[in-house]
Each structure stands twice: as C-alpha cells, then as structure tokens.
C-alpha cells in the first residue's frame, strides 16, 4: 500500500515530534503493509513550509529507514498567499516532481474554494482535496464534494475517519462518498504513534465491505501509484 498523506518528518509541524516518533511510525506503517509514504508537512498560517529544509530531513529519513520508500509533498492550506506562491513556484508544493498537489480546505468557509482550485488547475496542477469528511463546512453541505469532483479535483479521505475515530458524521460521509465513487485515495494523515497512527489496512477492509476488494485496492495501491508516476487517475 501507498500512503499519500502523513506528517512523518520530525519537528516541522503538529506531526512527529522527534526522530524516535518518526521511526516508530515507519515501523508501524511497514508492519501494516505500507511500502511508500508521502511526507506532507503543513503549509498554513501556523507552520511555515520550507521545501529545502524538509528535503534534507527526507534524505536523512531514507538513510535511516531503507525498507520504505519516501516522497516529499505538502498539505497546502488554501489561502491567498499560498495559492499565489504555488502558482509561481509549483515545484515547492507538489507531490515529488508530479503535477499533483494535496490541498486542505478552510475549516470556516467554502468561499472562493472553487476559484482557488480552478487557478491551480489552470496552472497545470491537479488538486487532491484532503479529508473533506472532517471539514465542518463540507459536513454541513456535502454536495460540495461532488462539485469538486465534477470540476476535476480528486478526493482523499482519512483512514480512521472511515473506521469511526472522527465520529459518526465523518464516518457516514466517508461511506456515502465511497458509494458515490467520489473517493480516489484512502490515506492515514498520520500525526503520531497512538491516536493518529499510519495504519491503512483497517480502513481498506472497511472499504472492501462497501465497494469490494478490487475498488478498495485502487484507493490504496493503484491510484496512489499513478500519482507518484505522474499518470492519470482512471475513475
């Protein structure tokens, strides 16, 4: 399996706080059947995203954990400043050297979301919308997700949202999105070892019960692999 969204790099945001936590997260992921992890530090008002500094940490991580593959990305909060910089310097924010970019919607408003995502797409980028099922605005207006899909965006749900850790409303939305064929990736959004670990297998089994094994495999294997290879996602 491939995990497209995790906060694995130590000390850069609200994810792993130390190398010991990072290494334990890697051990758990590998034990769970994950072979490749995309490190996606936050790029928001609280945490500054420094691609060069994060790349140094990623290179060290590769040396410390030779059994796993790693790629650098980010979780780009949709703010005016971030959008402008991403348009000017997309290579700072994309998943590896691909055209795919993981984006996080505002928790407070859906205003200008469509325009912001359109601007990214106009620059040749493909937005992957992170965990819409945990966004209070989206939970209040779930039709937004369908609109984003229709506009060409891709959708990533969180593994432990599907298994209930974020509450029934988020879990039900995950299930509904899966049935509507509106999910393209299941990722861990891991932040640590205990409460938000890098585990995908439990959610994969939950997805299998809803959409079958073949489709569930696309969400944790085929589609993430296509992103890393900069290929098109087959719906």
CATH architecture for segment(s) 2-228: Alpha-Beta Barrel (3.20)
* Look-up of token digits 């140094």: 56
CA distance 154 to 134: 16
Instruction: Please state, as a whole number, how many other Cβ atoms lie within 10 Å of the Cβ of residue 48.
Output: 12
Task: Identify the bridge partners of residue 36 per DSSP, sorted by sequence position.
Answer: 2, 69
Task: Look up residue 51 and give its two tokens.
Answer: 């691609």
In sequence order, what E strands does the chain have? 2-6, 36-39, 42-43, 69-72, 75-77, 100-104, 126-130, 154-158, 185-187
Q: What is the DSSP string of 111-158?
A: TTHHHHHHHHHHTT-EEEEE-GGG-HHHHH-THHHHHHHHTT-EEEEE
* Look-up of token digits 């070892």: 193
CA distance 235 to 52: 34
- Is the dihedral angle over the CA atoms 15, 1, 178, 147 positive or is it negative? positive
pLDDT (tens place) for every residue of the chain, 235 residues total:
999 999 999 999 999 999 999 999 999 999 999 999 999 999 998 999 999 999 999 999 999 999 999 999 999 998 878 889 999 999 999 999 999 999 999 776 555 677 888 899 999 999 999 999 999 889 888 888 988 898 899 999 999 999 999 999 999 999 999 999 999 999 999 999 998 999 999 999 999 999 999 999 999 999 999 999 999 997 6
Helix (H) or strand (E) holding 75: strand 75-77
CA distance 114 to 179: 24
Phi, psi of 105 (to 5 degrees): -75, 155
Report yes or no: 199 and 159 within 8 Å, Cβ to Cβ: yes
Global pTM value:
0.96
Determine the pLDDT at residue 110: 57
Determine the pLDDT at residue 79: 83
* Look-up of token digits 């000390």: 11
Task: Identify the bridge partners of residue 186 per DSSP, sorted by sequence position.
Answer: 157
């Amino acid at each position: 399996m491939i995990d497209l969204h995790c906060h694995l790099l130590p000390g850069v945001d609200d994810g792993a706080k130390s190398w010991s936590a990072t290494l334990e997260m890697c051990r758990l992921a590998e034990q769970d059947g994950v072979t490749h992890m995309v490190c996606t530090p936050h790029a928001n008002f609280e945490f500054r995203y420094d691609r060069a500094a994060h790349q140094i940490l990623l290179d060290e991580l590769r040396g410390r954990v030779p059994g796993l593959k790693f790629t650098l990305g980010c979780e780009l909060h949709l703010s005016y400043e971030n959008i402008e910089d991403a348009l000017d310097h997309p290579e700072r924010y994309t998943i590896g050297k691909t055209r795919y970019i993981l984006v996080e919607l505002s928790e407070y408003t859906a205003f200008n979301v469509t325009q912001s995502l359109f601007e990214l797409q106009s620059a040749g980028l493909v937005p992957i919308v992170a965990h819409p099922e945990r966004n209070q605005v989206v939970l209040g207006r779930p039709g937004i997700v369908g609109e984003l899909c229709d506009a060409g965006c891709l959708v990533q749900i969180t593994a432990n949202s599907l298994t209930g850790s974020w509450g029934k409303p988020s879990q039900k939305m995950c299930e509904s999105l899966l049935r509507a064929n509106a999910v393209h990736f299941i990722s861990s959004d891991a932040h640590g070892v205990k409460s938000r670990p890098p585990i995908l297998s439990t959610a994969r089994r939950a997805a299998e019960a809803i959409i079958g094994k073949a489709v569930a495999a696309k969400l944790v294997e085929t589609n993430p692999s296509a992103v890393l290879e900069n290929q098109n996602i087959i719906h």
